[in-house]
Structure 1
Amino acid sequence: MKGKVLSLGAAALLAGGALLLTGTANQSNAQDLLGVSFIDNVKPYLEFRPRYEYVDQEKTGKKDANALTIRTKIGVNIGTVLGVQGLSATLEAIDVSALIDQYDPQRTKYETVKDPANTRITQAYLAYKYSNFVFIAGRKYVAIDDHRFIGTVNWRQMPQSLGVVAVAGKPIQGLDFLLAGVYERKGIVDSLNKDWKMDKMPIVLDVNYQVVPQALRLKGFAYLLTDIHNTYGIKASGKIGLGNGVTVSYLGEYAKQTDPYQKDNVATKPDIDTDYYRLKVGASAMGFFGNVMYTYFGNAGGKDAGFSTPLATLHKFDGWADVMLSGAAKGFYYGMKEWCISAGYKNPVIGKLMIAYLKFDSDKDPGFGKSIGSEVDLLYAKKLTKRLSFLAKAAYYNADNGYCISECNNKEDALGKNDVTKYWLQLDYKY
C-alpha cells in the first residue's frame, strides 16, 4: 500500500513539477529556457474513499464476499500551461487497494465485487478554451446528462475514463453541444479496456437546447460505438414550480439502435435493430421527494442483441444489486420492462434517506415466464463535515425467472435467477 501511494504522489509531481515543492529555483530555470512559466495556477486535489461491501448470492456455491477497499486519488488541475491563455491541463491517478480481500477477482472462491486492486492514470488531458468553445485532447471522465448512455461509473472504486479528441461549446444562448471521437476506453476493470484506430473511433454527438428556462430542455444525440452499435435519440426534460415550494419534474426519452457504422476489434459487424424509451415523473416539497420511472429495453427481434448501454453508469440504474448489469451492457435478448418507484427525504441536518422498489419483466416470453424479478434498495447519506461524507446502502434482489443476453429457452441458461443481497458502508474524504 505504501509503495502504491508513493507512486501516486510521483504522478502528481509530474503534473505539478518542482513548483509544488521548491518554489522559485526550478521555476526560474523554466522561465529562462522557455521565456514563460511552464505551468501556473496549480491546484492539487486528493480523495480517500474507504468502503466495505458485502455480497450474498444464493445457489452459486461461492462464499459470501467481504471487501474492504480504499480508493486513493491524487490529481492536479493546471490553470495555465506554457503561458498560453486558455490552455489548461489535468493529471490524475487512482490506486485501489484491498484491505480485506475476500472477494472475486482477488480470491475466486468468493462472490464478485468489481473493485480489484489496481493503479491507473485516470485523467491526463489538455483543454484549450476560446470564447464559448473548449477543445480537449487526452484521457478524461465523460458524463452526459444522468449517465444513462455515457458515464463515469464513479460508484466503483476505479471509475471509467475515455480517451477523447473533442470540442464542446455554446454557440448561441441556450444551445450547447459536444462532439467527440473516442480512441480508448479504460473501464472499471481492465478486461473492459479497449483501443480504437483513429479513423475508426466511436463518435459522440450531443446537442441540447434550453427552450424554456428550467421548464423545457430538448436533446438530440448520436452515439456511434465502433464494434457495438449506433444509437440515435431524442429527449425532453424539465422542472416546473407549482408554488409553496412544490416542484414537479419530468423526463421523456426515445432511442433507436442499429448496426455500428464501423468495426475495428471484431471480425464482423453485429446485426442490431431495436429501440428504447424512458418516462419519468417526480415531485418534491419541503425536503420530501418521489419519482416514478418506466424504462423499456427493446428485444433483439431475432437479430444479434437487444438494446444496450455499455458505456453508461449502470449501477445508477436498474437496481443497485447490479443483477441487470449484464443485460443493460450487452442487451436483453428478450427485452426488458422496468418500473421504478422511489421516495425519500433530504435535510442538511438529518441527511438523505431513500427507498426504491423496482420490478423487472421480459418484453417477450423466453419460454419460461416473463417475470425476471424485483428489488428493494435503501440509502442513507450524510455530509459529516465540509470534506467528509458518509454513506450506507443496501440492495435486496428477489429472483423469479431471470433473463437472457442471447437466445435461450430454459431457465437454467438465464442470468438473474438467484436472490442477491448487498450492503455498503462508505466514508469519502476530499481535499
Structure 2
Amino acid sequence: MKGKVLSLGAAALLAGGAFLLSGSTNVSNAQDLLGVTFIDNVKPYLEFRPRYEYVDVDKSSNKEANALTIRTKIGVKIGKVLDVPGLSAVLEAIDVSAVIDDYAPQRSGYEKVADPPNTRITQAYLAYSYGNYTFVAGRKYVAIDDHRFIGTVNWRQMPQSLGVIAVAGKPIQGLDFLLAGVYERKFVVDSGNLDWKLDKMPIVLDVNYQVVPNMLRLKGFAYLLTDIHNTYGVKASGKIGLGNGVTVSYLGEYAKQTDPYEKDNYNTKPDIDTDYYRVKVGASAMGFFANVMYTYFGDADGKDKGFSVPLATNHKWDGWSDVMLLGAANGFYYGMKEWCISAGYKNPSIGKLMIAYLKFDSDKDPGTGKSIGSEIDLLYAKKLTKRLSFLAKAAYYNADNGYVYASGNPDSGFTNVTAGTKDVTKYWLQLDYKY
C-alpha cells in the first residue's frame, strides 16, 4: 500500500523483539526452575535503509519507474545458547515497504524494480564452534569470496539467504574450507525461492590456501547445484606492494560447468557442457585506484544453456543497469565476453567516487552481430557519521544487438529469449543507518 512505512509483520517483530530483550517474569522463573540460562550475551542490531530508484527504458511501452522503498532490518546475535560453550545463534527479519510505488510489479504499465513489499525471516541459524571448526544449521547469508558465484545480493532491499547445513574450518595454518549442503534458497523476490530434499541438496565445497600471505592465494571449488548444473573451478589471487604506497592486485579464475549431479524438482536433467574464465589486474596508490577485468561466459554449444551463475550477486559484476542479469543467471546462449575498466578515488573525508565502462559482446554471432551493448556506471558514497552513510549511483546502458538466454526448465524445454536490445537509464539515492 502506498505510503506504508512498516508492515504489520515487522511491527509485530519489533514489538516481540523489545519484549524478549526486556525480559519476562515467566521466562525468568522458568530459567530458575531449569537451572540454566536459555540465552545470554544478546546483542540487537538494526538497519534502516530508504532508497529512491528511477528506471527508464528507451522505446518501452511502460512508464518510467519511480520507487521509494525502505528496508527495515532487526536482528539479534545470541552469544550463548543453553549455557553450552561455543553454541550461538542469530535471528533476523527484514521488512521492505514502499512509500512511492510507481513501479512494477506494484503497478502495471511501469518499469520493473525488484523491491516489492515483503516481510521475511532472513536469518535464523545455530552455530557451534569447537577449536578451529564451526558447524552451522539454519537460514543465513552465504557470501563466498567476491560474490561471483554465490552471494547475498544485498544491493536489493530483500537480500538472498540460503538454508544450509555446513561446516567451516582451518585444519592447518593457511588452509581453510567450507562444506555445505543447501536445502533452500530465499531469493530477492519470492518467485525465485527454491527448496530441495535433504538427500538431494546442492553441495558447496570451497577450499583456500594462502601460499604466500596477501601475495598468493589459491582456491579450488565445486558448486553442485541440484536441478541446475555442476561447477568445478580454480582461482589464484593476490596483492603485491611495490613501495611508496603503490599496490598491484591480480586475479585469475577458471571454471567448468556440466550437467547437475542430481535432480529433485524436475524429472529431467539439463544438458550442459561449457566453461568460464576471468582475469583482473588492478592498482592503487594514495587513494586512487583502477582495475581492468575481462570475463568470459561460455556459450551453450548446441546444448541447453551457456555458463550461468544463478546464486551470484550479478548486480556487482555485470553492470548496475542489470541488463545482463537474465543472461548471467540463466546462461548466455551464444556466450558473452565482458570488458570492464574502472577507476576512482577513495578518501574518508571526501568519500568514494568511481566510474566504470563495460563492453559486452557475444562469443558467437547469433546472426544479428556480436555486439551486445555497452554501459557506463557512476558512483559516489560517503560515510556521514559513525552509523549513517549516503550513496548515489547511476547506470547508463547503450544497447546494440542484445543477447540471447535460455528460459524455461528441463521438463517443459528451454526457449531462447532475446534481451538487452533497448537503452536503459537507472539512478539511485540511498541513506543507510545501522545500529
**TM-score normalised per structure 1:** 0.96
Return the alpha-carbon distance in structure 1 between the equivalents of residues 346 and 223 of structure 2. 35
* Deviation, structure 1 residue 29: 1.4
| Amino acid across the alignment from 1:426 | Q
1:204 and 2:209 aligned: no
| Amino acid across the alignment from 2:434 | K
Displacement over 3 Å in runs of 4+: 10-13, 25-28
Partner of 1:273: 273
Q: What are the ranges of 5 or more consecutive residues in structure 2 without an aligned counterpart?
A: 408-415
Q: CA RMSD in A?
A: 1.3
| Amino acid across the alignment from 1:417 | T
Partner of 2:410: none
Return the alpha-carbon distance in structure 2 between the equivalents of residues 413 and 237 of structure 1. 35
Does the CA-based 8 Å contact 1:256-1:276 persist in structure 2?
Answer: yes
Partner of 1:21: 22
Return the alpha-carbon distance in structure 1 between the equivalents of residues 135 and 375 of structure 2. 42
| Amino acid across the alignment from 2:386 | K
Partner of 1:377: 377
* Deviation, structure 1 residue 21: 1.1
Aligned residues: 422
Partner of 1:41: 41
**Residue-by-residue CA offset, 1:34-82 (whole Å, 9 max, x unaligned):** 2111100000000000000000001220000000000000000000000
1:266-345 to 2 correspondences below 5 Å: 266-345=266-345
Partner of 2:387: 387
Partner of 1:420: 424
Structure 1 residues 271, 107: CA separation in 2 closer, same or farther (over 3 Å shift)?
same
**Residue-by-residue CA offset, 1:186-208 (whole Å, 9 max, x unaligned):** 00000000110000000000000
Partner of 1:9: 14
* Deviation, structure 1 residue 326: 0.2
Does the CA-based 8 Å contact 2:10-2:119 persist in structure 1?
Answer: no
Return the alpha-carbon distance in structure 2 between the equivalents of residues 301 and 168 of structure 1. 37
1:17-416 to 2 correspondences below 5 Å: 18=20, 20-22=21-23, 25-26=25-26, 28-406=28-406, 414-416=418-420
Return the alpha-carbon distance in structure 2 between the equivalents of residues 10 and 234 of structure 1. 47
Partner of 2:411: none
Does the CA-based 8 Å contact 1:370-1:401 persist in structure 2?
Answer: yes
Partner of 2:413: none
> Secondary structure, in 3 states, of the residue corresponding to 1:232?
strand
**Residue-by-residue CA offset, 1:93-138 (whole Å, 9 max, x unaligned):** 0000000000001012100000000000000000000000000000
Return the alpha-carbon distance in structure 1 between the equivalents of residues 52 and 426 of structure 2. 10
**Further displaced range: 112-121 or 28-37:** 28-37
Does the CA-based 8 Å contact 2:156-2:188 persist in structure 1?
Answer: yes
Return the alpha-carbon distance in structure 1 between the equivalents of residues 117 and 31 of structure 2. 40
Does the CA-based 8 Å contact 2:72-2:94 persist in structure 1?
Answer: yes
| Amino acid across the alignment from 1:9 | L
Does the CA-based 8 Å contact 1:8-1:94 persist in structure 2?
Answer: no
| Amino acid across the alignment from 2:97 | S
| Amino acid across the alignment from 1:99 | V
> Secondary structure, in 3 states, of the residue corresponding to 1:405?
strand
* Deviation, structure 1 residue 327: 0.2
> Secondary structure, in 3 states, of the residue corresponding to 1:391?
strand
* Deviation, structure 1 residue 26: 4.4
* Deviation, structure 1 residue 7: 2.1
| Amino acid across the alignment from 2:218 | L
* Deviation, structure 1 residue 413: 5.3
**Residue-by-residue CA offset, 1:171-227 (whole Å, 9 max, x unaligned):** 100000000000000000000001100000000000000000000000000000000
Does the CA-based 8 Å contact 2:143-2:152 persist in structure 1?
Answer: yes
Does the CA-based 8 Å contact 1:8-1:95 persist in structure 2?
Answer: no
> Secondary structure, in 3 states, of the residue corresponding to 2:155?
coil
| Amino acid across the alignment from 1:179 | L
> Secondary structure, in 3 states, of the residue corresponding to 1:99?
strand
**Residue-by-residue CA offset, 1:259-299 (whole Å, 9 max, x unaligned):** 00000111200000000000000000000000000000000
* Deviation, structure 1 residue 27: 5.3
| Amino acid across the alignment from 2:367 | G
Return the alpha-carbon distance in structure 1 between the equivalents of residues 294 and 102 of structure 2. 36
Does the CA-based 8 Å contact 2:387-2:434 persist in structure 1?
Answer: yes
* Deviation, structure 1 residue 414: 1.9
Does the CA-based 8 Å contact 1:204-1:222 persist in structure 2?
Answer: yes
